[in-house]
Structure 1
Amino acid sequence: FCETIQLHLTQLIRLRPGQGAQVLHRDRLAWGGYLPADIEPQFNTIWAVTDFTQDNGATQVVPGSHRWDPKRTAQPEEIAYAEMAAGSVLIYSGSVIHSGGENAASADRIGLNITYTLGWLRQEENQYLSCPPEIARQFDPELQALLGYAMGSYALGYFTPPLPPGQGPEVVPPEFLFNGKVASWGEEMYQNTSARAAEGKL
């Protein structure tokens, strides 16, 4: 369903001792339920920083729930616990019913949640504010593209430089911010962008 993927969100999840279980949910609801059921919008990972046990709040997952009717709810006997050693990873789609478990242990349960989405969807975490250009320019091009500083499809993701009318291009791929081809917002950017357009690369 896409030509590219992008980073959806990153978060460190800490469950403190005595913290109750999270409500079971599907992450795809971030888009408000507007996407057709046959489009899977999200790919999730949660990395165990500490051991995950049922006692300390291992992620609860409902296997097969990605195929269920959206209105169906999970029964207790359908819930499994993603028990795993530190350094392991749980992989699941945005349509799987899941939640953080209850931490009945005496120590924190810590997990690193990194999720990805289709390149043409709005990201849950606004990556351009979390990682603005002055920070993103320090990264490798692959990571810049993953954050969203790349064309997501034929015409998704371009920007217009903050120049007076007629003094610059109106359609610039975000890669031009970082690839060293453009030194400023002026004539050089205009010429490079025009050349790329002539080659059919915009």
Structure 2
Amino acid sequence: MGAFPPPIDPSYIPSVSLTRLPATAPTADIIATLERDGALILVDLVAPQDVAAINAEIEPYIQKARAESHEAYDLIPKQTIMVPGVVGKSPTMARMAELDVIDTLRTRVLQRKCTATWEDRTEDFSIDPLLNSSLTYHISYGGPRQRLHRDDMIHGIYHRGGEYSLSDETMLGFMIAGSKTTRENGATMAIPGSHKWDHARVPRVDEVCFAEMEPGSALVFLGTVYHGAGHNSVPDQVRKIYGLFFIPGTLRPEENQFLAIPRSKVLGMSDKMLSLLGYKKPGTWLGIVNNGDPAENLAEVLGMANS
């Protein structure tokens, strides 16, 4: 993709900002803000003790991730530390993926309710969301900013403009702060309202604002929103972010969850997490193994897959 773009001029003053809501805010208020702006900050989503636990549980994987290439992501600078498969490495992070507010929002935005028509009847069913990826985005000093982009590009989504519907969204992300995030140390740039732009509309850096957060708060945004990681200009500071991204159960996840999470750990995970990883059959016949739901006898199914 070539060289990364230069930092945004420190004298730039955003003309817009991200709405901040407490994580305890009514779901209707959060959804209304997502529909209007495409992004917001949920304050105090994760308790301080859980943030500390996540940081401690992920720390043993940091040095290995720092030394490894993440060549599949050419839009992410090498100074960004990307630990993959975080829900398989941090039990606390796996539990955060099941927080009521996260579960409610991803279901509201990404669950697909469908009707099948047969020759003699109709049948209603639903397909629950999947975990698209769980990663760290820890930006070390000197890390350049990303180009502004939309995450839904991974599924080849084309934006035609016109009337907007939240039900058309194909990704919902939660970027949880594991440290204080500031404009100076690489806070994510975002353009509120850009989720409604058509494909021809090109984002500009003079339209961004910065997702500055205290540890435990989270940037929540749709896959249609233009955003990008910021430049870390603060020596001896690492901007710590833990990302949880979800997609409709009809799409292929970015991170191959069947290989990203050790099978030995999968067997001890909750029914909700098994569903998010794709091990449970939804309302249709997606994901069946031996003509059945693999979650009903997962140990046997995994044993067969390992043979």
Task: Give the TM-score of the pair, scaled to structure 2.
Answer: 0.53
1:49 aligns with 2:173: no
> Which string of whole-angstrom CA distances, capped at 9 and with x for unpartnered residues, describes residues 178-197 of structure 1?
399x9x98xxxxxxxxxxxx
Give the counterpart of 1:178 among 298, 302, 307.
Answer: 298
> Which string of whole-angstrom CA distances, capped at 9 and with x for unpartnered residues, describes residues 47-106 of structure 1?
011111111110000100100012211122210100111111110001100000000111
Cα separation, 2, equivalents of 1:25 and 1:59: 12
Superposed, 1:48-87 pairs within 5 Å as 48-87=177-216
Cα separation, 2, equivalents of 1:147 and 1:35: 28
> Which string of whole-angstrom CA distances, capped at 9 and with x for unpartnered residues, describes residues 118-151 of structure 1?
0111011000011254321111111111111111
Give the counterpart of 2:277 among 120, 124, 147.
Answer: 147
- The residue number in structure 1 matching 2:224 is 95
1:40 aligns with 2:169: yes
Name the count of aligned residue pairs: 173
Q: Percent identity?
A: 31
Superposed, 1:96-111 pairs within 5 Å as 96-106=225-235, 107-111=237-241
Structure 1 alignment gaps of length 5 or more: 161-170, 186-202
Cα separation, 1, equivalents of 2:234 and 2:174: 23
- The residue number in structure 2 matching 1:24 is 148
Larger radius of gyration: 1
1:12 aligns with 2:136: yes
Task: Give the TM-score of the pair, scaled to structure 1.
Answer: 0.78
Q: Report the residue type matching 2:155 in the other structure.
A: W
Cα separation, 2, equivalents of 1:111 and 1:176: 35
Pick closer, same or farther for the CA change 1:35–1:73 going to 2, 3 Å.
closer
Matched residue of 2:242: which SS? strand
Superposed, 1:109-120 pairs within 5 Å as 109-120=239-250
> Which string of whole-angstrom CA distances, capped at 9 and with x for unpartnered residues, describes residues 149-197 of structure 1?
111341111013xxxxxxxxxx1112123399x9x98xxxxxxxxxxxx
Is the deviation greater in 37-46 or in 67-76?
Answer: 37-46
Is the deviation greater in 94-103 or in 135-144?
Answer: 135-144
Q: Which has the higher contact order (CA 8 A, sep 6+)?
A: 1
- The residue number in structure 1 matching 2:254 is 124
Contact residue 53 and residue 83 of structure 1 kept, 8 A: yes
Cα separation, 1, equivalents of 2:196 and 2:299: 42
- The residue number in structure 1 matching 2:94 is none
Cα separation, 2, equivalents of 1:78 and 1:61: 8
Structure 2 alignment gaps of length 5 or more: 1-110, 113-125
Pick closer, same or farther for the CA change 1:94–1:51 going to 2, 3 Å.
same
Cα separation, 1, equivalents of 2:153 and 2:283: 23
- The residue number in structure 1 matching 2:14 is none
- The residue number in structure 2 matching 1:195 is none
Cα separation, 1, equivalents of 2:262 and 2:182: 37
Tell me the CA shift for residue 111 of structure 1: 0.3
- The residue number in structure 1 matching 2:289 is 159
